[in-house]
A and B are shown apart, each in its own frame.
Chain A
Amino acid sequence: MAKILAVDDSASMRGMVAFTLRGAGHDVSEAENGQLALDQARGSRYDLVLADVNMPVMDGLSMVRELRTMPEYKGVPILMLTTESHTDKKMEGKAAGATGWLVKPFDPEQLLATVKRVLG
């Protein structure tokens, strides 16, 4: 079981991610934008952060940059949930400090496989 933070402004996407991961026994928290995610991350140590790219208030890339400045989030896996299958978008995420990405659409099995992969 891992502590996972799911960040997405879409309640359905967030809900699906959280539901799927909880079903696999993980402890999942949710946040609906980058700013709220940072607030939550400060108070608690997550093993994995899953974040949408496009969000109001604070987007996913800015959030990753911020997270990476926090000592306790050095090296913590952060996956971008992105619809961009273009290389440049993925690289933008990587440059911001993301660990990797999961391209939408994904189904619960793909999500679980990726999370399992990243958590080892």
Chain B
Amino acid sequence: MSKAGLAQFQQVFIEESLEGLDTMESSLLALDDGGDGELVHTIFRAAHSIKGGAATFGFPEMSSFTHEAESLLDEVRSGKRAIDGSIIELLLRTVDCLRGMFARAQAGEPLNDAVAEGLRNELAAAMGRGIPAGGVQARRAEDQADAWTVRFRPHPGMLASGNDPLRLIRELAGLGELRATPEFDRLPATLAGLEPSECHLGWTITLRGPVKRADIAAVFDWVEDECDLAIEAQHVVAKPAEAPIATAPVAAAANVADAGAARAQREAGAESSSVRVSIDKIDGLINLVGELVITQSMLDTFRGEYDATRVAMLEQGLAQLARHTRELQETVMGIRMLPIASVFNRFPRMVRDISQKLGKQVKLELVGEQTELDKTVLEKIGDPMVHLVRNAIDHGLETPDKRRAAGKSDLGTLKLEASHRGGNIVVEVSDDGAGLNRDAIVAKAVQRGLIASGEGLSDEAVADLIFQPGFSTAAVTTDLSGRGVGMDVVRRNVADLGGTVTIRSTQGKGSAFTITLPLTLAIIDGLTAAVGGERYIVPLVSIVESVQLKPEAVRSVAGGELFRFRGEYLPVIRLHDAFGCDNAIRAIDQGLMVVVEGDGSRVGLFVDGLIGQQQAVVKSLEANYRRVQGVSGATILADGSVALIVDIAGLVRLQGRRKAA
């Protein structure tokens, strides 16, 4: 079989190993919190699987490395060694190191680095011994002879273990010219007295040919405890002891294959492009397709005969078709849906590390880990969440003495909560820390020139300032939050996923950041807006309100038009101008102003009118045409015509640039 055939499993191996590492990490952390012994088994199993697969799939370095960790775990598991903080620490670093190795494997880089080497030594030292010798094994000299006598008496139980003497003797026959003489002395005298599953025969076997003793012994390697065996040479030919044999060529070949697979992986793109689907989901799909086929054949019977008496049946068929289509859609979407647990799981470790570094005591609560969301969304939500969590520990939660002074317990609470709300996923990162400091934010915003003064600004508006580009509330830039990314990046990342971020904060009580995301990127809920002869889809999630304005409500200013909405002046974007539509309504009082929010600011979209709400299946313009500014995709309407989906954040940025120009 070709090595190329194996490459497909190499990727699966990497994916499941990364999951295994997550499991190891969370179990180690739970163990650190006084978890039970079952966790040790879980950890051991994960390490064991990685070790076993690593060598098979061409990562021998990883295998030998994991072997050390596994040996350590084995001692813990068997009670030979008590687990303590230092071992957990060591194993946690091992997890990190392995993650690094997998990353390098995917990038096609050499797996071992100084960290791995150092850690391997530490693990070996923890086991109380030096680095084990490499893959070089000494072999003892092998006897060779031209003829052998093998006395083989299976124990009665050998047959039941699946070891058939027939197979063994046939194998021996492959080595040379064989003659077996059976012995019946143990066979019961009567048929009735014979238990068929027990072996009562024995053999004396002569084997002729230049055969090594080791080759004969190898035939019996599985049964050495299940038989009496004597291997005697008839003519011994002494051979000098052979030099130790190294297994280097095998390892080298594996490395070549592994580099090829890693290259293929790089070409496949950074994010993993496969989804593991449970059999249940697939069975559900097969079921539905079956139903569809039945409905289709039922509808087929109407072909050409639209008899009025059968209208009811036709209607029933169509209703069935609609239901199955909807279910099929939901199920197919469900395949891309994965629990958010895989993202949540990286936080216990991170929270532990950061809080230790900052001398804060933090209890992490995870709620709704089984909430499922689209794989694409899942892969992209991690970074914004990491930022929010870092931020919460760094800026939100106080040190124990400050908390005590404020009358709170030493232990701060950080809560990650995911839930489904309507057609959206809501992920909330909340803490019971100090909350946002209005004065500090205003002062900083003034200093940065974002605002002239805080006067007249609502708390909401002030809180919103932290999402402005270039804003940082930390008095000192720490290495935790201050990596040149601010909350503006969080908001933009979330906006790219079609979502929004909002803050609730009470000074002294804590803050909550709420990320609202669409369940999937493949289907959006939108309002269909008419502009001239065209129709556009405005994502429902961005819509605040739609209002009909009097002409005098809109003022022309340099660079555009503004209108007053709830005490704020919002810029107007006329969709017919933005997209160049002819025959559109231009008079303000005859059209409709749709107030939308995107990229952190609100604007009014001026359209002819709204036609209705609908679900739109997003078709990529980039994939089918090219990227168009202000448009996030296209969809096909019920009548077969194409409507473009408005990219609110993109339009707002476009508007900003025009204004600046």
Q: Which residues of A contact B (CB under 8 A)?
A: 9-13, 15-16, 19-20, 23, 52, 54-56, 68, 74-78, 81, 83, 91, 94, 97-101, 104-109, 112, 117-118, 120
A83 touches B10 (CB 8 A): no
CB neighbours (8 Å) of A106 from chain B are 56
Interface: B588 (CB within 8 A): no
CB neighbours (8 Å) of A81 from chain B are 52
A11 touches B162 (CB 8 A): no
Q: Which of the residues A108, A112, A118 comes within 8 Å of B6, measured between beta carbons?
A: A108
Interface: B49 (CB within 8 A): yes
CB neighbours (8 Å) of A11 from chain B are 12, 16, 276
Bound form: Cα–Cα A12–B16 in Å: 8
The majority secondary structure among interface residues of chain B is helix
Bound form: Cα–Cα A74–B198 in Å: 11
Q: Which residue of B lies closest to A91 (CB)?
A: B225
A98 touches B44 (CB 8 A): no
Task: Kindly list the 9 A-B residue pairs having the minimum CB-CB distance in the complex, ordered from nearest.
Answer: A105-B55, A99-B162, A100-B222, A12-B13, A77-B162, A105-B56, A104-B52, A12-B12, A83-B52
Residue interface mask B220-231, A partner, CB < 8 A = 1:
011001100000
* Total contacts A-B at CB 8 Å: 109
Which B1-59 residues sit within 8 Å CB-CB of chain A?
Answer: 1, 5-6, 8-10, 12-13, 16, 42, 44-45, 48-49, 51-57
CB neighbours (8 Å) of A99 from chain B are 161-163, 222
Instruction: Say how far B287's CB is from chain A's closest CB, in angstroms.
Output: 21
Interface: B160 (CB within 8 A): yes
Q: Which residue of A lies closest to B162 (CB)?
A: A99
A19 and B52 in contact, given A94-B225, A101-B222 (Cβ under 8 angstroms): no
A94 and B226 in contact, given A11-B16, A99-B161, A105-B63 (Cβ under 8 angstroms): yes
CB neighbours (8 Å) of B171 from chain A are 117
CB neighbours (8 Å) of B161 from chain A are 94, 97-99
Q: Which of the residues B13, B45, B60, B164 comes within 8 Å of A75, measured between beta carbons?
A: B164
A19 touches B10 (CB 8 A): no
Bound form: Cα–Cα A70–B79 in Å: 34
Q: Which residues of B contact A (CB under 8 A)?
A: 1, 5-6, 8-10, 12-13, 16, 42, 44-45, 48-49, 51-57, 60, 63, 159-164, 166-167, 170-171, 197, 221-222, 225-226, 276
A16 and B166 in contact, given A54-B48, A94-B161, A108-B6 (Cβ under 8 angstroms): no
B197 touches A74 (CB 8 A): yes
Instruction: Say how far A107's CB is from chain B's closest CB, in angstroms.
Output: 7
B49 touches A10 (CB 8 A): yes
A100 touches B52 (CB 8 A): no
Instruction: Say how far A64's CB is from chain B's closest CB, in angstroms.
Output: 9
Q: Which of the residues A15, A20, A91 comes within 8 Å of B1, measured between beta carbons?
A: A20
CB neighbours (8 Å) of B197 from chain A are 74-75
A107 touches B162 (CB 8 A): no
CB neighbours (8 Å) of B163 from chain A are 77, 99-100
Q: Which residue of B lies closest to A82 (CB)?
A: B52
Q: Which of the residues A23, A78, A101 comes within 8 Å of B5, measured between beta carbons?
A: A23
CB neighbours (8 Å) of A117 from chain B are 167, 171
CB neighbours (8 Å) of B170 from chain A are 120
Q: Which residue of B lies closest to A101 (CB)?
A: B222
